[in-house]
Amino acid sequence: MATGAETLKTTAEKYTAASSQAFKDAVDKSLTALNEMNAASKQNLEAFVASATAATKGAETLGSQAIAFSKKSLEDNVAAAKSLTSARSVQEAVELQTTWAKSALETYMAELNKASETVAAAVKESLTPLNARVTAAVEKFQAAR
């Protein structure tokens, strides 16, 4: 039969071992969670950078298109003005002006559609990495349930 001191010693050793193991397990779980959180933060930052890069690229493309359109419009306007000055009658001038106005409006509408497509593509491309991160987070939370 064990004495009270031996029982106390055995119980204390078991408690110490269990406490030590529980502490190690808690530290391991905390480190694992911290590593996962760091990895997720890194992936989120990478997604944000990719999104910002795509948005910047879209803005640059839109800017380039606007500059090219402005240059072409200026050239077309100068050409229209020259042709108006060579008109031999008021009727011919009105016809030239009408033709130019129709062409300018059609060109403007085409450019507006092109700009809309560029903006839509840039928004879609810039949101893709962010959507992927949100999807990954939702999947992780659902798996944890």
| Residue 23, pLDDT score | 86
Q: How would you write the chain as a 3-class SS string?
A: CCCHHHHHHHHHHHHHHHHHHHHHHHHHHHHHHHHHHHHHHHHHHHHHHHHHHHHHHHHHHHHHHHHHHHHHHHHHHHHHHHHHHCCCCHHHHHHHHHHHHHHHHHHHHHHHHHHHHHHHHHHHHHHHHHHHHHHHHHHHHHHHC
For 41-90, what is each residue's pLDDT tens digit? 999 999 999 999 999 999 999 999 999 999 999 999 999 999 999 999 99
* Confidence tier at 3 by pLDDT (50, 70, 90): confident
Domain boundaries, the chain: 11-144
The residue type of 63 is: G
| Residue 2, pLDDT score | 63
The residue type of 145 is: R
* Confidence tier at 1 by pLDDT (50, 70, 90): low
| Residue 75, pLDDT score | 96
The yes-or-no verdict on residue 40 having pLDDT over 70 is: yes
For 102-134, what is each residue's pLDDT tens digit? 999 999 999 999 999 999 999 999 999 999 999
The yes-or-no verdict on residue 5 having pLDDT over 80 is: no
For 10-37, what is each residue's pLDDT tens digit? 888 888 888 888 889 888 998 998 998 8
Supply 121's token pair.
Answer: 């593509």
| Residue 10, pLDDT score | 84
| Residue 85, pLDDT score | 92
Among residues 51, 43, 52, the alpha carbon closest in space to that of 139 is found at: 43
